[in-house]
Amino acid sequence: MNVLANDGVSQVGIDRLKQAGYTVITDKVAQENLVEYINENNISCLLVRSATTARKELIDACPGLKLIGRGGVGMDNIDVAYARDKGLKVINTPAASSQSVAELVMGELFVLSRFFYDSFKNMENGEFSKLKKAYAKGSELRGKKLGIVGFGRIGQSLASYALGVGMDVVAVDRFMEGAIEIKIPIGTEQNASVSITPKKNLQEVISSLDYLSLHVPKQADGSAVIGKNEFNAMKDGIKIVNAARGGVIDEDALIDALNTGKVDCIALDVYENEPNPRKDLLSHPKIACTPHIGAATKEAQNRIGEELAEQIINEFA
């Protein structure tokens, strides 16, 4: 059985599939050539990440396709319900990258608090004494209130890190009921725990937040979770991280909020127009930009590859 990992897969996953008798192809096929390639090469399993889409047209045009796998959490680049209605198996790896994404977000909280996003750009050509003065009003994370919108695996992992540095964590999740126990590792052998009950409505808490991190999927109707009304309700000078999906934040409203000082600064790992984000976002002095690397650690990629391989093998055993 042939497997096309069009956006790549870890060597751990490749080796596991090969041991089970699968042929793994890691050629990067352009989206417009994907249907032809799948049919000509008798591809049974298509593995994607965020770069490749598997829409209705591709599913209809590839009758030999049996499985579509997403290396990661969100599956908004796959027409999941349609594929399943057509008899295809659709899988993903929701837990494999949680820690890596949470660690990126935690790093961004420090970056925003101490002006790293701007100082990196200016140290080489700026005057040292002036820069020292410009960056002299950083913030500590301890004691600050962090809102986590979307309290699934990634949100809970972030909460564990944030609680560990002394932040006050407020979770918002429309679908969760009751309290969630968050384990906080202390070293490698001990854990503390904190109980958090998510709020249903962001508007209940948004005006009290010092920091905000988003962990929700792209909305089915294309609407933004954070737009003009939400920005207006925020505390002046809030700091934000979006490592969820492009489109979760209204980018026009974001630029306005940054320019007025409503938002002090923001870290973006995702954008509406990937892989070609707006230039005014990339060049804005109050935005820390990374190229959608939330799950891009060796550890996460190995877990993703291994988990995809095991699911495929189990499915066709």
- Whole-number Å distance between alpha carbons of 111 and 240: 11
Residue of 245, 251, 272, 284 marked catalytic: 245
Per-state percent for the chain, helix, strand, coil, to nearest 5: 35, 20, 40
Beta strands in the chain (DSSP E): 2-5, 23-25, 43-48, 67-70, 89-92, 145-149, 168-172, 180-186, 190-196, 211-214, 238-242, 263-268, 287-289
Catalytic residue list contains 274: yes
Torsion 46-48-52-58 (CA) sign:
positive
Residue of 70, 153, 215, 292 marked catalytic: 292
Beta strands in 12-167 (DSSP E): 23-25, 43-48, 67-70, 89-92, 145-149
Residues acting as catalytic residues: 245, 274, 292
